[in-house]
Structure 1
Amino acid sequence: MIRPFVDREEERRLLEEEWQKPGGRMVILYGRRRIGKTRLLAEFVQGKEGILSFSEDVAAPLQIKQFQAACAAFFDDDLLASLHIETWDQIFTYLARKPLATRAYLVIDEFTYLIKNDPSILSALQKAWDTELAGSNWCILLCGSMLGLMSDLALSATSPLYGRRTRDMLLEALPFVHARRFLDQSFPDALRTYLAIGGVPEYLLKAGDYDAFSTFVEREFFSRFGYFYREPYFILSQEFRELKTYQSIINAIAEGNTAPGAIAQFCGMDTRQIYPYLEGMIRLGIVERELPILVDTRRGVYQIKDTVFDFWYSFVFPNREAIETDTLLPSSLAMDRYFGKPFERFVRREVVPAILPGSRTGRWWWKGEEIDLVAVDDSVRRIVFGECKWGGLSLREARGVFSRLERKAAKVRHEHYPEERYLLVAGNVEGKEELRAEGYLVYDLADIEVLMGGA
């Protein structure tokens, strides 16, 4: 059964804009594997005429032959189908010279496979674009998953396509409000699942087979036959050659080494050596560099940004031997302790924008002190200091949180933000109405469920 298409409204609107504009259009759509690029394109081309070509990682002559067959089928051209075509230049010259009376699409899915096996396709496409296609009725959509190749060869200033593309679109993960539609789980379990795998549609489809988070991770992460058991290996091997070095760096960060020097020491490398690896993973969205908000410093820390990588390196990587021998007891893993950090990121990125629209949000730390979230709104000159707790809090514990926040706020306080508020987001907060009556902002999972349209 094909599931209903979820969200991507902005992306569909932009693609439709490109379709409606006159002349040739060239759109580059890219994003990590399993993010839903092919499904988005399939939705977009419904009711339209054109060529939909799915590329495979095979030898270049076979790729040309497959593309030739797709073009011949669209034009019903038996002669084209019978010709012996050896180069991309020949087939794109054919497309450029073929009259096209009405708007049509040319979708090349997994375009990176073509670049990888024969980079001359870029120059061939550039030549055809410059001579004929730019003024034609073709709407060309190039789609790719190998982000390194897409960035270096299709999107960079040195690419033959530079200056020709009319739009490029990075397809990102779904936010929780849409991701939850894939999951038939209780709200707390749906949130746990999201914090473990993120908003990647194909991952969510797999999780949607389970009605409980514990069953899902036990069968799909903690089994050597599970869907996710080798997933990070596969992604890294598609993008990088020095697999062990990248694995070591990610493992170092998962172990709590977030400063460049600490990461390098953990990996047995010189600090200067690790920066190219970190930059490569930042570009692919696996790792991110974080700077404290409202602090004038360039000394950032590195975190694992990709949700699946974060969960996998925290639980699967250190327990591979037990998983292989079927001796792992998932109940023994400190999962609730783990969820504190991803819950904190979730609150900053998805909850705070719903509570405090227009605010820019980040984490603050300085000289051993840390505040989970600081949200500032320059338009109303307001600053909000917040704490996130995955578990439940009593009224007394909640008051303690606010007391500590008020103490730390003195080190951040600035005359530009005369209005100060304090925020607590936790799994459950006893006496939250009493705290709200005192002027505090208090939200727990029940409130978040309402914010996310669940009740």
Structure 2
Amino acid sequence: MISPFIDRDEERFVLEEEWSSDGGRLIVLYGRRRLGKTRLLFEFSKGKKGIMYFSEETPVRQQIKGLQEECARFLNDSLLSDLKIESWSQLFSYLVKNPPSERSYLIIDEFTYLIKADKSVLSALQKAWDNGLSDSKWCIILSGSILGLMSELALSYTSPIYGRRTRDILLEELPFCHAKDFLRQNFEDSMKTYFTIGGVPEYLQKASEYDTFDEFAKKELFSKYGYFYREPYFLLSQEFRELKIYQGILRAIANGRTKPSEIASHCGIETRSLYPYLEGMIRLGFVEKESPLLGSSRNSIYNIKDHMLGFWYRYVYPEKGRIETGSFRYEDCILSQYFGAQFEKFIRYEIAPLIFPGYDTGRWWHKGEEIDFIAINKSSKKIVFGECKYGAKSARDAKRILEKLKTKSGLVHAEDGYEIKYALFAGKVNDKESLLKEGYLIYDLDELKRIFKDTNIWEPN
């Protein structure tokens, strides 16, 4: 049974816009595995005519023959099916000379398999594009999951098809407002699941089989037969050769070593040798560099951006020995610190744009002091300082946290003349009404649920 297709409205709009444009179209769709690129293309192709070719890691001749047969079938061309075609140039040249009479798609899924087997496929496509495909009715979509290859060989300025692409689309994870629609868990458990595996559709589809987060984590994360138990190895091995170094970097960051010198020391390499590895993981969306808002970039740190990798290297990897021997007890695993850190990111990246549109958001730290959340609007001269406390807070605790926040905000170097507000984000805040009357901004889980309920569906401008 095919699951309902959720979101991707913006990407579908872009694809439809390309489809409706004049002349040939050459689109590159890329993104890490499990994000639903194939499903997106399947949905896009409904009601349209064309060829969808699913590439495989096979010898070049078999790849060419496979696409040749699909083209012959679509074009109803017995001559093409009987021709001896031995190169990509021959096949693409044939398509130039025998164009379709109406708008048609040519989708090559997992195009990176073709590049890996024979890089000449790119120059062959470039020549065919220049010799006629660009003026044809073909809408060509090249989809790929190996981000390193796609970035280096299909998207960079040195690529033969550079300057020929009419559009490239980076498919990213779903935000929580759409990710939660996969799940049948309650709001808080849905948040925990999202904090753990992010907005990857295939991951969410697996999580949708469980009514609670604990049941899901126990069976799929902390079991040697679980879906995610070996997923990081597979994901990293698709992109990197020096797997041990990349894993060392992720283990270091997951355990709180976020400065370059700390990461390098943990991995046993020089700090200056670390940066190419970090840059590679940033490019692929596995790691991110963070600088304090309203602070010095010299205090920048590195975090694991990918939810699943962050959780796995922080909690699953250290327990592999006990998991393998059957002595691990999920009940002994304390995840509150991780959920607290993810809750902060959740507020900054997903809640803030909804309640403070037009504000720059981030956090601030300096010499041991830290503020979880800052939102600033320079045009309206408004600034919000906030603290994020995952879990319930009594009125007394909440007031103490907010008073301390006021004191810390005085350490931040901001321009004079700003209207200042103070906010608390928490699971539950007792006596919330009295704090609101004092002018504080209070957001608990009930308020977050309301915000997401009122979130508008994406619409094109």
Aligned to 1:239, what secondary structure does the other structure show?
coil
1:37 aligns with 2:37: yes
- Cα deviation, residue 379, structure 1: 2.5
Shift of 1:243: 0.7
- Equivalent residue, structure 2, for 1:107: 107
Is the partner of 2:164 in helix, strand or coil? coil
Pairing of 1:180-191 with structure 2 (within 5 A): 180-191=180-191
Per-residue CA distance 1:82-139 (angstroms, 9 max, x = gap): 2221111111111111132111111010001111111000000000001101111111
Q: How far apart in 1 are the matches of 2:360 and 2:353?
A: 8
- Unmatched segments (≥5 aa) in structure 2: 456-461
C-alpha distance in structure 1 between counterparts of 2:172 and 2:345, whole Å? 16
Q: Look up the match of 1:449.
A: 449
Distance apart, 1:428 and its partner CA:
1.0
Q: In structure 2, what is the Cα distance between the partners aligned to 1:215 and 1:60? A: 45
What count of residue pairs does the alignment treat as equivalent?
A: 455
Residue 316 of structure 1 aligns to a residue whose secondary structure is: helix
Do the aligned partners of 1:383 and 1:417 also contact (CA within 8 Å) in 2?
A: no
How well do the aligned residues superpose, as a CA RMSD in angstroms? Answer: 1.2
Distance, in Å, in 1 between the alignment partners of 2:244 and 2:22 is: 49
2:85 paired residue number: 85
Residue 458 of structure 2 is matched in structure 1 by none
* One-letter amino acid of the counterpart of residue 386, structure 1: G
Partner of 2:338: 338
Q: Which whole-Å CA distance do the structure 1 matches of 2:294 and 2:129 have between them?
A: 47
Q: Which amino acid is the alignment partner of residue 61 of structure 2? A: P
CA drift of 1:296 comes to: 3.7
Q: 5 Å matches for 1:99-248? A: 99-248=99-248
Shift of 1:417: 5.1
Unaligned 5+ segments in structure 1 are none
The match for 1:9 is 9
**CA distance, structure 1, for counterparts of residue 104 and residue 187 of structure 2:** 44
Pair 1:416–1:23, CA change in 2 (3 A): farther
Per-residue Cα deviation, 1:223-281 (whole angstroms, up to 9, x for no partner): 11100000010000111111111000100001100000000001111111111111111
Aligned residue for 1:116, secondary structure, equals helix
Q: Which letter does structure 2 place at the counterpart of 1:47?
A: G
Q: Look up the match of 2:325.
A: 325
Contact 1:123-1:160 at 8 Å conserved across structures: yes
Q: Which contiguous aligned blocks of 4+ residues in structure 1 show a shift greater than 4 angstroms? A: none
What is the alpha-carbon distance in structure 2 between the residues aligned to residue 348 and residue 417 of structure 1? 24
Secondary structure (helix, strand or coil) at the match of 1:452 reads helix
Query: What is the alpha-carbon distance in structure 2 between the residues aligned to residue 343 and residue 56 of structure 1?
Result: 40
Give the conservation status (yes or no) of the 8 Å contact 2:24–2:133: yes
- Matched-pair contact (CA < 8 Å) for 2:56–2:113: yes
- Output the CA distance in 2 between the equivalents of 1:288 and 1:374: 19
Alpha-carbon distance in 1 for matches of 2:272, 2:9: 43
Q: Tell me the distance in 2 between the aligned counterparts of 1:245 and 1:447.
A: 43
DSSP 3-state at the match of 2:297: coil
Which stretch of structure 1 is more off in the superposition, 223-232 or 416-425?
A: 416-425
* TM-score normalised by the chain length of structure 2: 0.97
Separation (CA, whole Å) in 2 of partners of 1:345 and 1:416:
28
Q: TM-score, normalised by structure 1?
A: 0.98
Which amino acid in the other structure matches residue 314 of structure 2? Answer: S
- 1:438 aligns with 438
Q: For 2:262, what is the secondary structure of its paired residue?
A: helix
Per-residue CA distance 1:173-231 (angstroms, 9 max, x = gap): 11111111110011111110011001000000000000010010100011111000000
The answer as to whether partners of 2:360 and 2:376 remain within 8 angstroms in 1 is: yes
